[in-house]
Amino acid sequence: MQKRIIYTDKNMRELNRTLDGRFPLRVEHERLSDFLHSTALFHWHPEVEFALVTDGSVICQINDTPCRLTAGDGIFFNTNVLHAYLPDGKNDCLYKAILFDPVLLGQPGSFIFEEMITPLLSNSNLTGLPLSSTVDWQRELLSIIKEIALLDLNRASFLQLRFLELLSRLWRILYENTMETVTDHSRSGKDIARMKQAMTYIQQSYGSLITLDDIADACTLSQSECCRLFRRILHQSPMEYVISCRIEKSLPLLADGRLPITEIAGMTGFQSSSYFAETFKKQTGMTPSAYRKQFL
């Protein structure tokens, strides 16, 4: 089975998913092991996201803050916040994710949007929030997420109206319980900005020679500070992230089938096709040619 990847642009904005402008909501029924390395890589999107774990466990990360979720737990990701779903050891995870544009709840300029939506979206202390069934109001949110996912599976009549009803309840409960009491989960806004600068540089330059010094310069840190930042937020070294990025960029080129593997290796920053093949197999469990054959 072909493994899925979260594709992003050079600024780490997700490219995989687009919402229907007529009703910008999407419900996804996910299995983490369907993704390459059981990882939904770091990305952000303008939509807000609520998720509910239905089986297994997962490490969700909001900017630089990881949290472990098990069945019955959930999470909220605010708009434009860098986040990822990471494997919890060898455990798999089934989860439901609901993404929607808050304009569904009120048009920009309206009282609801300006007074009850914008303040929450722009709350720098609310980048995201783990949801636990042991907290009464969070248990209500989890129940609503589950109900939305079931409606989507069953394609119930008056589906969009039911979605709107549930989303309004979801947002009201979140608003009532976070606007005054939310605490800051981010260790340092500057660190997140630097991390984004480094990741953007790598996304833009993966086809060229990249050194640790280049990455450190991109985020205005020393090499040692840069390595600590990557370890703390991404749980890998800067150069390990470079390799992962290069492998990710090679996948659509291999699937396309028109370019020789040697040329793809060079385009994605590998110094030789043999090193590309060796690294590709370590990352994916198969050779580049075996991966390509899946699409022929």
Q: What are the Cα distances from residue 47, in Å, to 55, 80, 103, 217, 285?
A: 25, 7, 10, 31, 33
* Contact (Cβ atoms closer than 8 angstroms) between residue 127 and residue 62: yes
CATH architecture of 25-178: Sandwich (2.60)
Q: Report helix, strand or coil for 149.
A: helix
pLDDT in tens, 107-128: 888 999 988 998 899 888 889 9
pLDDT band at 183 (very low <50, low <70, confident <90, very high): very low
- Asked whether residue 156 carries a pLDDT value surpassing 60, the answer given is yes
Quote the strand ranges of the chain, DSSP E. 25-31, 40-43, 48-62, 65-70, 74-77, 83-87, 93-100, 128-131
Question: What is the value of pTM for the model shown?
Answer: 0.74
pLDDT band at 149 (very low <50, low <70, confident <90, very high): very high
pLDDT band at 193 (very low <50, low <70, confident <90, very high): confident
User: Could you give the maximum distance between any two Cα atoms of the chain, in Å?
Assistant: 61
pLDDT band at 57 (very low <50, low <70, confident <90, very high): very high
Hey, what CATH topology would domain 189-293 get?
Arc Repressor Mutant, subunit A (1.10.10)
**Mean pLDDT in the chain?**
91
* Contact (Cβ atoms closer than 8 angstroms) between residue 116 and residue 167: no
What percent of the chain lies above the pLDDT cut of 90? 71
For the segment 33-46, the average pLDDT, to the nearest whole number, is 92
**Residue type (1 letter), 253:** L
Of residues 224, 54, 214, the one with CA closest to residue 145:
54
pLDDT band at 186 (very low <50, low <70, confident <90, very high): very low
CATH 1.10.10.60 residue spans of the chain: 189-293
* Contact (Cβ atoms closer than 8 angstroms) between residue 100 and residue 26: yes
Tokens linked to 137: 């109001």
pLDDT score at 1: 64
pLDDT band at 233 (very low <50, low <70, confident <90, very high): confident
Q: What are phi and psi of 98, to 5 degrees?
A: -120, 120
In which element (H, E) is residue 260 found? Answer: none
pLDDT score at 232: 85
pLDDT in tens, 262-288: 999 999 999 999 999 999 998 888 999
Handedness of CA 160, 163, 169, 170 (dihedral sign): negative
- Neighbouring residues of 254: CB distance < 8 A, sequence distance ≥ 6: 261, 264, 288, 291, 292, 295
CATH 2.60.120.280 residue spans of the chain: 25-178
